[in-house]
Amino acid sequence: MPVEHPTPTGRARELVAGGYDAHVHVAPDVMARRIDDVSLARRFAAVGLAGFVLKSHYVPTAERAEVVRGVVPGVEALGALTLNGSVGGLNPVAVEIAGRQGARVVWLPTVDAANERAGRAALPPGAAAPMWAALQDELAAQGIVAPAIAVLDDAGRVVPALHDVFAVIAKHDMVLATGHLSGPEIVAVVDAAAGAGVRRIIVTHPEFTSQQLDVDTQRRLAGRGALLERCFTTAYTKKVSWELLFEHIRAAGPEHSLLSSDLGQPFNPPVEDGLALLADRLLGAGFSDDEIRTMAVVNSRRLLRP
């Protein structure tokens, strides 16, 4: 039987209209996805959303994004790159090529991050495992899994290759996203990136199982100019409670938060509903229209538009 998902209210749709979803996982991909990128662009147009960032853990997406923009004018599909083993890890050449192709976001390691590898068994009871976990296990069983990627050396300093990556990101004015690093890694990386001239920084889902950043750390990162990403799926799939998510937003300040969906999994709600569903949850928790619009629209446009 088809799974029934919640439906956003009209009020929530209006509040997020004109916003970008900075984190979606759609087809074509190496694993099953709910929808393809062209179809998603058409659905975004239908609900009044401005665009989305195509995230893959394994391949660059700037070329795909350019094709989608040509097919569906008026919706800005944006390309990205994630610095996992499949693109050479902390590889400034990959970042330079992506930048020349118009990629907007560069994620630091996710599935191949040393922190993520160490925390794979830490899912809370009842939480849904991420889809990429099965693929990582298959690669490991075949003996072709990439080495874990460290961003700090033994003395806690950012490794030289990452400084090279920051220089390219700053040159192309791309967005740096912190991926699946640990709290101490994120603090060191954000400080170093800001010092290297990177102007646009996202702290990737700070409530996620392998991040779990405390409020003081989130405030510190916000003070460095980073936006704290609040993903719909993190709470929807029970990796964290809704109450804790809302507590963190209030404590760090909505002006320092960015709403995204992290949707695209076949078993989760439609991708184009993600921002509005998150807005409905926030409305129910007492957040104001202005606060929600700041997180969903103002901050996403400021971050992702040139």
Q: Is 108 helix (H, G, I), strand (E, B) or coil?
A: coil
**What is the DSSP-derived secondary structure letter of residue 87?**
G
Mean pLDDT of 214-220: 97
Q: Which two tokens stand for residue 79?
A: 């390309």
Rounded-to-integer distance, Cα 269 and Cα 13, Å: 15
| pLDDT per residue as tens digits for the range 248-270 | 999 999 999 999 999 999 999 99
Mean pLDDT of 9-31: 98
* Residue 173: closest CA among 210, 209, 192, 199: 199
The pLDDT-based confidence of 3 (bands split at 50, 70, 90) is: confident
> What is the model's pLDDT at position 120?
60
> What is the model's pLDDT at position 296?
98
Rounded-to-integer distance, Cα 294 and Cα 206, Å: 19
Mean pLDDT of 43-64: 98
Q: Which domains are present in the chain?
A: 10-124+133-304 (3.20.20.140)
Is residue 155's pLDDT more than 90?
A: yes
Residues of the chain above pLDDT 70, percent? 98
